[in-house]
Structure 1
Amino acid sequence: MAAHRALEQDLRAAIGGEVRFDAGSRAMWSADASNYRGVPIGVIAPRDADDVEAAMAVCRKHDVPVLPVGARTSIAGQAVNTAVAFDFRTHMDRILSVDPDARTATVLPGAVCDAVRDAGKPHGLTFGPDPSTHNRCSIGGMIGNNACGSHSVAWGKTVDNVRSLEVLTYRGERITLGGEGVETGAIPDALRALGAEMAADIQAHVPELTRRVSGYNLDQLVPGQVNLAKALVGTEGTCATILSATVDLVESPPARALAVLGFPDAYTAADNVMIVRAQSPLTIEGMDAGLIAALRALRPGETTSRMLPEGGGWLYVETGGETRAAAEAAARDVATAMKPYTTGSVVVSDPKQMGALWRVREEGAGLLTRSPDGGEAWPGWEDAAVPPERFGTYLREFDRVLERHGRKGIYYGHFGDGCLHVRIDFDLMTKPGIANFRAFMTDAADLVVEHGGSLSGEHGDGQARAELLPRMYPPEIITGFERFKQIWDPDEKMNPGRVVRPATMDENLRVQLGMPTMPDKPKLAFGHDQGSFHRATRRCLGVGKCAIDTGSGVMCPSWNVTKEEKHSTRGRARLLFEMARGEVITGGWQSDEVAESLDLCLSCKGCKSDCPVGVDMAAYKTEFLAQRYRRKLRPRAHYSMGALPRWLRIVGALPAAAVDRLNRLARVPFLAKVAKKAGGIDARRAIPPIARETYTARAAKGAPMSRVPDLGIEPGSRGPLLLWTDTFTDHFDPAIAADAVAVLTALGYRVELPPRTVCCGLTWTSTGQVGAARRVLARSLRAIGPALDAGVPVVGLEPSCTAALRSDAAELLPDDPRVELLGRHVSTFAELLNRHTDELSAVAGQGNGGALVQIHCHQHAELGSEPDRAVLAALGVDATVLDSGCCGLAGNFGFEDGHYDVSMACAERALLPAIRASDDSVAVLADGYSCRTQVRQAGEREPVHLAQIAARALRR
């Protein structure tokens, strides 16, 4: 990068925003959500239009190309290039104004689609286009791609909703398009002249199709219908940079409902879209049975798909109304009208149920990229569109093209507009595979053109399809595109190689260009990725669900605090991918860029469940730490907190008086400071007090622990049950174990304890000490082996340990047959109690108070929380499950030196404010020891475990 040092220095001097030419930033911006890779020269984040103008002048002086980008969720490769990337999401994301009378919003290019929609809500308005990435994609990116979304049958594409644009050319012309007056100047005049000259060709060869996104909008230049703002929509950053946009807002129905229609197959669903269109709904979305099969295989515990009516293909038909009843009635009318053609229907108007159903559809792109056995599928032929009346025929013929080329694809899409989304199992790693990719793409393009369709119906041409444009348009239109580009960008420095004179579809393929150079010998099993760490690094497709500004949900806590790409799951995955390649990120496992990025990963596992493709950054971090510190001195925290069960085992053997003395010494400021320094613990953290006596020690002496409620069930009548005595419950909160045993005994179980100390090895795993974790877990499995072999249920009280046993043990001991038994026999305390809700509710009754429930991240990711909700309801507890994400402590993370600020910021996003806002009588329920510790150390109140709530409710 020495050649660009002067460019970097000039940019730093010229703008107030960030200038990033470091290897890490270039690696993270080298890919979008497509198959393509283009390492940028550098990345800048301008703060305002003046910064953009100044930066453009510097790039022009150095004769380098530029690439304006938003959320980088583009699927066709238009958001990557060897250029200076202008990142508009970081700073230029404001909504400048909303005019409810004119029904417009004026926004900066980085404004997120959902933020604009939310700004219109108070006025009963919304922004019509809503692609599946609506909660993170930017308006500038939507204008660049001419994005659509599920409501296009009602409100059209982005081009139909743009009022005016303020833009900047590479040569520095600042132009306003649209608005009140008629634009004048060299560029507007040249565009009008081009339209007048080509009018006949445009009218003859540019198809009138609701989902035509391929090529430039030359139809907006025809005399009598000239609209230069709309002409610029869909140009993919190849002509000018957007500084601001005024977009139209449409009336949004106050209430909505969803009719889900079942059909024998997706073909039949497609055959019937015109009948549904006649009902004038807001959406007509389609899914194939393959998507639902993939969902159930990848997420066996999901329940949403059970709501679907019988069938092998489905249409989602959304309706609106002034009231929920009116919207639901409209949806029922649709279901009634379609009854002769369907296999069944379901009408839903509850917002939560509708949201769950929509997530199945919206996450389809991610779900279909990986099969449970690690098989890979890719975009490329992603979103072609044909006239909706021909859609059923097109689907049947498209499947024959797939079959002819030996490919498989599962699809879904905007059936009401004849637009198909599909992920296909292309082989993009070998020369024969890429030849097959080219052949398929060519034949698929010819099929679409044969049906009068568009190569792209939503995501643009980019590099994936621009080469195919001559198959859709005659030479005179292709020449028109070139002339259009020449008027705007005579220097060809705006996102070159896209749309006009494009790179070929098989150049710059990310998987091929990024072939790993590192050995692929991971410490973990990576069973879902066929034993390959390299394969795991390819999971991330860049759809960006980990970088949502609303900050709800579990993924990704550190990004929600810092808003830095390197702290998102996507950013980390990109760095690991490039690390394996070794070209931009050098140094392999010793890469400081990767280490810095992973340092703030909380290993919360939120991404494993919330990422559509199941990226498991916690596992990747474990692998990185294991390899980085192999035969090397480790950070102090790895020896202290990473081996915490070992140290606590020693402390647990001491007399109670000695433990009391240790606790007192830990509160002496000087001694605590020394101890924390030695252990790599942040000085602002308090050392948690250790219990005077563990539960297992007291139970071994036969000491009374907790009064057993009388439920009228014969003791031991339900047989044996093994309680997993995890380190944290046993040494820090033994009263929880006591209450759990009391409840389980009352339910008729004969509660037994392991014959020796057991541990899941999680603290060693999370610090990358894989060998030690493997030994610890193997020893524990030998201890409980007879119980597992006998089919005795095993109940865990600590969610992280229970999740490690049931889901993660296979990564450490993939060949141990007892790991499979763990998956079958280990349950959470709530799952066990959920088998007895009738008995619990009969005794507990109602009116047992309220509870704010903080779900542990590992429970969210691996175990689910539906049993907890059911048990709380049976216990008569009015529970509010917080959408608070990670508590921020996350095991050792929040204690480690340098993590305190991020840890507390995570807690302050939702958890701690919710506790402060609640009445003191409301219990704070947190089964995870980390969550309880975070709440305690924040000084809010004493949290409780479900076992304690259950014991109290039953004793009443």
Structure 2
Amino acid sequence: MTDLAGLETELRGAVRGEVGFDVTSRALFTMDASNYRRVPVGVVALRDADDVAAVLEVCRTRGVPVVARGGGTSIAGQATGTGVVLDFTRHLNRLVDLDPATRTAVVQPGLVLDRLQEAAAPHGLRFGPDPSTHGRCTLGGMIGNNSCGSHSVAWGTTADNVRGLDVITARGRRLRLGQDWAGAPEGLRELVTGDLARLRTGFPELPRRISGYALDALLPEKDADVARSFCGSEGTLGILTEATVRLVESPPARALAVLGYADESAAAEAAAGLLALAPLTVEGMAADLVPSPAGLPRGGAWLFVETGGGTAAEARARAETVVRAADVLDARLVTDPAAQRALWRIREDASGTATRMPDGREAWPGWEDCAVPPARLGAYLRDFRSLLSAHGLHGTPYGHFGDGCIHVRIDFDLLSEAGVARFRRFSEELAGLVVAHGGSLSGEHGDGQARAELLPRMYGQEMVALFERAKRVWDPDDLLNPGMLVRPAPLDTNLRFAVLPREPLPVVFGYPADGGDFSAAVRRCVGVAKCRTAGPSGASGASVMCPSFRATGEEEHSTRGRARLLHEMLAGELVTDGWRSTEVRDALDLCLSCKGCRSDCPVGVDMATYKAEFLHHHYAGRRRPATHYSMGWLPRWLAWTSRTRTAGLANARASVRPLAALAKRLGGIAPERRIPRLATEPFSRWERRRERGRLRAWRADARAGRRIDLPRRMAFLWPDTFTEHLSPSVGRAAVRVLEAAGVGVMALPTRPGRLLRSADGELRGIGVFPWRTRRARACCGLTYLSTGQLDRAREVLRRTLDLLEPLLLLPSDVEADAEVEADAEVEAVQGLEPEPDREPDREPDLGVDPDSQPGSAPKSDPDPDPESSPDPEPESSPEPEPEPEPEPEPDPESSPDPDPEADGDFPYPLPIVVLEPSCAAALRVDLPELLPDDPRAARLAARVLTFAEALERLAPDWTPPHLDRPVTGQTHCHQHAVLGDAPDRRLRAAAALTGDLAGGCCGLAGDFGFAKGHFEVSRACAEEQLLPAVREADPDTVVLADGFSCRTQLEQLAGVRGRHLAEVLAEGLEREAK
């Protein structure tokens, strides 16, 4: 048995890079993007080639295998291993040189492909191969797999674009590989010259033959190219330290022809005929992979055919030629670059979206990229469909149709013994089908463990024996990535699902898309690593995921890294403490709960929800971090300051540096942060004054016999904590704009009740019971959700549903009721509380000692919730002012009926407008997932509208003020991930607000950026996109930020005032009024 402690110590003394033998480091590298899992003994983040040589020496002496790893996006398992994993992405990731004159670049193996493309683009150049993982795959990984990508019909495979390789062999020899046997290890030439006939006839001729070793590249008629032969060897022959690659000219203009066909077989048969037109791409995919085919032409499958030219007209003309030559059901020609990017994202995300069948069943790789001659592709796909049907399996093909390479995820059952046995039988039969069509088991992703066992079916035993001899020439000690390509492990062993629990764990969230199974939710992460995309969104489109990875560059702080740790937590072999795991807790600590992964991850991983679930279990029965009380209980503290009217005092104390420092220290708040100022008049207090004035006016009109004109459209305004106590100006602006658009705005009730109707079914109001019920405020529970206080969140949300239940009932749910209970107060207008003019503001009793330390127990009030607590009744208090005489109610027989339905067509139940995007997202998705058995939760979620959605739906004919100003800022991450920003973009365009908002995350993220220890990461997130966009903007540019956190981050880091869209439109209305 290996002495792991001794190995770790020796490696630390031998290398300059980081050595990780801890649980977290090992857990992060147990899997790649395949079905396989192997636990390494340790990980080394190399700094230079000397580190590579040192690790090889130490491991060879101790007999420990070495596995080279790039971005970890391998789909066949070749980036996993039980030895020492070499991580090239942390340090060996530079572009060493780029020479436009010779059209070459020198790269280190950890360089991400997009970084090379960005450096080459100003020179009109690019690297030809471009896998769909281009934002996170590395050049070293591409060389190890001989990767290809969409443009291989024009520019070939990675091997076609390699000019020279620097490698170190397992025994420490440093070689420079090239043509004419350059760098060939001793014995390789003899192996080739001794079996020339077999090498000349034993390899199928097709553009995508990746399986096995490329020994035919060593033939004399192919220039004995050792570098080309090394490509696709999957880290089994030597360790790459540097590469010289060819760059190609990139056409300055592109056009995209999307061709619609009846099915994928018809598209495949057409693909080969288009190659004569010299397209840049001929990509295919079936309709099953596109949830919403909007923007695509009619058809059950499509070809994406890209053309290029020196000008846009030339590129378009070539695309038109393609359309004319293609026998299609329908076609669409796209020249707008943004529209092209949107369509390409559909294709690039297919490797993730294909992991779910249309009915929600899981699908897996395993036969991800077989390739056949392009002319045989249509026939192969028909036979492939028949084979799937014979085994009772389903899969949706997509991929590089022009090269005959097909990707597919299949709904294998890899959780049961019977399912795994069927997986093996299918794999063996499919290998035979591929060979029968003259194809290759791998057309891009390599053999790894998934296909290496079946290589004898493709090449025969004699050729496989030749592969084994080549392996011994390069690596006689079998040190490098053993079990791959030669002497492989069986394809049905080391499956990553075998270690997971078979029964669902008891959890709080409903996980409706995963059958309530947290393990199934974690299994969503298949490792495609889109969360490791770094840098501005660029060609990948606006995105948020994953801000903590973009800030740190660490796998641990990516969505995939956290999912891997959760997987190991569930497995219980490496991470052994379950929900109490400190490794998982630490990895989740820098998760901003931005929910970017919910929308940007192709498989819909929702790490914010997983984090909340974990924190709930992790801290069950234990003291929590101080921020969970100071920030998690924010609605309590702010409600208390409002009730006691001490906001001004709190602001004064926060401005005294020693007092502010003490408060931050006690609350776990970062010392670099400033405590935001509280509003001295909460929004609801202003709203009540406004409502009282409106009721007085209506009563006066009724007494005078004048008609009461109510808006034809009405909506409730949600009193979120941030608008209520920290930025009431946003609420006032929203009311101003909505009412200008003809939408009546009402405050949500603060006491529970029921709908009251007359005998003929007309809505008369809401009956409330003020003397027997407690005053309450609706709350989305966001702060409790984000800190994992899920029991508290459910309690708050249930009380919110109790409060709002009458507003959520559909007309069919309400029985006619002509009688009003004797002790009920009937509101004259639905949703309004006609409070006396001079009634003092009342806020709910917290039931908590405001002077107690965070974490101390609340007072023994039977119901201490600030959103549903009784009005305080001190033992000794002055006599209350006598209430004024109530004004007489108008006689319904002699005055206009104030019932809204008498003069309007607005539907019931009414929509609820939420101004804070995080609160709207919590109500729309977290609420129904946290209370899946309460039908009221889904009803409330369905009524939630954002500000822009409300204007678009309730006032579609309204014309906003013409502002004619540029904008910058950032779309709120929860809006991007959950709510969508299309209505906002349309509203900005209608108001002549020009320009696009940045992607990414502001980095404050509610409590995250305020928590001690998070400030630097929070600032780095803001510096990634938001702050540069603001600094580069013209002075008259409007900085938009709908979220309170975003505005706070802008103010504290850039000294810039961000504004909600409602505020900008309200200012425009005021200018127009003048």
TM-score range, shorter chain: over 0.9
Shift of 1:551: 4.7
DSSP 3-state at the match of 2:745: strand
Rounded Cα–Cα distance in structure 2 between residues aligned with 1:670 and 1:427: 62
The answer to whether 1:515 aligns with 2:500 is yes
Aligned residues: 928
Contact 1:373 1:529 in 2 (8 A): no
What is the one-letter code of the residue matched to 1:700? R
Name the residue aligned to 2:101: 101
Name the residue aligned to 2:689: 701
* 1:837-848 alignment runs, 5 A limit: 839-841=957-959, 844-845=961-962, 847-848=963-964
* 1:355-394 alignment runs, 5 A limit: 355-371=341-357, 374-394=360-380
The answer to whether 1:147 aligns with 2:147 is yes
What is the one-letter code of the residue matched to 2:294? R
The answer to whether 1:652 aligns with 2:642 is yes
Aligned counterpart for 2:1014 among listed residues 890, 899, 919: 899
Any unmatched runs of 5+ in structure 2?
538-542, 695-707, 751-776, 810-907
Name the residue aligned to 1:746: 740
The answer to whether 1:459 aligns with 2:458 is no
- The CA deviation string for residues 522-545 of structure 1, in whole angstroms up to 9 with x for no partner, is 121111211111111111111111
Aligned counterpart for 1:242 among listed residues 219, 240, 262: 240
The answer to whether 1:771 aligns with 2:803 is no
Rounded Cα–Cα distance in structure 1 between residues aligned with 2:245 and 2:554: 28
Shift of 1:7: 1.1
- The CA deviation string for residues 114-169 of structure 1, in whole angstroms up to 9 with x for no partner, is 22222322332211111111111111111111111111111111111111111111
Name the residue aligned to 2:899: none
Contact 1:256 1:324 in 2 (8 A): yes
Contact 2:1004 2:1049 in 1 (8 A): yes
Distance 1:411 1:239, change over 3 A: same
The answer to whether 1:203 aligns with 2:197 is no
Contact 1:409 1:422 in 2 (8 A): yes
Name the residue aligned to 2:525: 540
Name the residue aligned to 2:988: 872
Distance 1:951 1:54, change over 3 A: same
What is the one-letter code of the residue matched to 1:306? A
| TM-score normalized with structure 2 length | 0.85
* 1:489-508 alignment runs, 5 A limit: 489-508=475-494
The answer to whether 1:183 aligns with 2:182 is yes
The answer to whether 1:216 aligns with 2:216 is no
| TM-score normalized with structure 1 length | 0.95
Contact 1:872 1:879 in 2 (8 A): no
Distance 1:373 1:266, change over 3 A: closer
- The CA deviation string for residues 762-811 of structure 1, in whole angstroms up to 9 with x for no partner, is 10011111011011111112222222223211111000001111122112
Shift of 1:182: 4.7
* 1:271-282 alignment runs, 5 A limit: 271-282=269-280
Shift of 1:918: 1.9
DSSP 3-state at the match of 1:630: coil
Any unmatched runs of 5+ in structure 1?
297-304, 707-713
Aligned counterpart for 1:721 among listed residues 697, 701, 715: 715
Contact 1:210 1:417 in 2 (8 A): yes
What is the one-letter code of the residue matched to 1:159? A
What is the one-letter code of the residue matched to 2:1022? A
Rounded Cα–Cα distance in structure 2 between residues aligned with 1:703 and 1:515: 57
Rounded Cα–Cα distance in structure 1 between residues aligned with 2:567 and 2:162: 38
Rounded Cα–Cα distance in structure 2 between residues aligned with 1:650 and 1:266: 63
Name the residue aligned to 1:804: 922
Rounded Cα–Cα distance in structure 2 between residues aligned with 1:144 and 1:862: 38
DSSP 3-state at the match of 2:232: coil
Rounded Cα–Cα distance in structure 1 between residues aligned with 2:166 and 2:1035: 53
* 1:119-518 alignment runs, 5 A limit: 119-178=119-178, 182-183=181-182, 187-225=184-222, 226-292=224-290, 295-296=291-292, 305-338=293-326, 341-371=327-357, 374-512=360-498, 514-516=499-501
- The CA deviation string for residues 842-864 of structure 1, in whole angstroms up to 9 with x for no partner, is x623x442221321111110011
DSSP 3-state at the match of 1:377: coil
Name the residue aligned to 1:670: 658
Shift of 1:824: 2.5
Looking at CA atoms only, which structure, 1 or 2, has the larger radius of gyration? 2
Rounded Cα–Cα distance in structure 1 between residues aligned with 2:2 and 2:668: 38
Rounded Cα–Cα distance in structure 2 between residues aligned with 1:176 and 1:941: 54
Shift of 1:373: 6.0
Contact 2:616 2:789 in 1 (8 A): yes
Aligned counterpart for 2:1026 among listed residues 911, 927, 952: 911
Percent of aligned positions with the same letter in both sequences?
53
Shift of 1:878: 2.2
- More displaced stretch, 87-96 vs 827-836: 827-836
Shift of 1:576: 0.5
Name the residue aligned to 1:29: 29
DSSP 3-state at the match of 2:257: strand
What is the one-letter code of the residue matched to 2:416? T
What is the one-letter code of the residue matched to 2:729? A
Contact 1:373 1:530 in 2 (8 A): no
Shift of 1:372: 6.8
Name the residue aligned to 1:301: none
DSSP 3-state at the match of 2:195: helix
Select the structure that is richer in helix. Answer: 1
Name the residue aligned to 2:704: none
DSSP 3-state at the match of 1:409: coil
Aligned counterpart for 2:978 among listed residues 858, 862, 865: 862
Distance 1:673 1:819, change over 3 A: same
Rounded Cα–Cα distance in structure 2 between residues aligned with 1:448 and 1:753: 66
The answer to whether 1:557 aligns with 2:541 is no
Distance 1:627 1:662, change over 3 A: same
DSSP 3-state at the match of 1:898: coil
DSSP 3-state at the match of 1:675: helix
Aligned CA-pair RMSD: 1.7
Contact 1:916 1:940 in 2 (8 A): no
Rounded Cα–Cα distance in structure 2 between residues aligned with 1:518 and 1:815: 21
Contact 1:215 1:469 in 2 (8 A): yes
Name the residue aligned to 1:683: 671
Rounded Cα–Cα distance in structure 2 between residues aligned with 1:936 and 1:704: 35
- The CA deviation string for residues 813-837 of structure 1, in whole angstroms up to 9 with x for no partner, is 1011122223322110011112377
Aligned counterpart for 1:626 among listed residues 616, 622, 643: 616
Rounded Cα–Cα distance in structure 2 between residues aligned with 1:256 and 1:107: 27
Name the residue aligned to 1:710: none
Contact 2:969 2:1041 in 1 (8 A): yes
Aligned counterpart for 1:597 among listed residues 581, 587, 590: 587
Shift of 1:495: 0.2
DSSP 3-state at the match of 1:176: strand
Shift of 1:261: 0.3
- More displaced stretch, 905-914 vs 683-692: 905-914
Shift of 1:19: 0.6
Rounded Cα–Cα distance in structure 1 between residues aligned with 2:980 and 2:806: 28
Rounded Cα–Cα distance in structure 2 between residues aligned with 1:696 and 1:374: 44
- The CA deviation string for residues 654-692 of structure 1, in whole angstroms up to 9 with x for no partner, is 23xx32122101111121112112211112211111111
Aligned counterpart for 1:853 among listed residues 947, 969, 975: 969
Name the residue aligned to 1:635: 625
Rounded Cα–Cα distance in structure 2 between residues aligned with 1:223 and 1:874: 67
- More displaced stretch, 784-793 vs 720-729: 784-793
Contact 2:504 2:518 in 1 (8 A): no
Rounded Cα–Cα distance in structure 2 between residues aligned with 1:904 and 1:115: 23
- The CA deviation string for residues 404-430 of structure 1, in whole angstroms up to 9 with x for no partner, is 011010121100111110000001111
